[in-house]
Amino acid sequence: MLVLTRKKDQSIVVGNNIEIKILKMGKNSVELGISAPKTYSIFRKEVFDEIQKKNVEAIKSVDLGDLSDITKLKAIFEKLSEKQTPDEKK
């Protein structure tokens, strides 16, 4: 793990196109701004963990007998993709 010290209005860059900027610092919290291409999904850790949990549950509920047709498989993956887009992206 890389550990950095930053002050308000300072940033770090990840790769070539992701910038994380310190917007506000409080006693027990830090407000971050993240600039990244729209192709990247950015979630708070607890939201990401919930998405992963629901994906595992969805996969476990799949009846493998229904996978005889590739269109059925495609529909299952589309449903999983829809579940990965919660309204709240913080």
Mean pLDDT of the chain: 85
Q: Provide the pLDDT for residue 88.
A: 45
Alpha helices by DSSP H, the chain: 45-60, 70-83
Please report, for the chain, the start and end positions of each structural domain, with discontinuous segments joined by +.
1-42, 45-83
> Residue 82's pLDDT is what?
72
pLDDT at 29: 95
pLDDT (0 to 100) of residue 73: 74
Residue 60, pLDDT score? 82
Point out the residues of the chain with pLDDT beneath 70: 63-69, 83-90
Give residue 90's pLDDT. Answer: 45
pTM of this structure: 0.62
Bridge partners of 33, per DSSP, are: 21
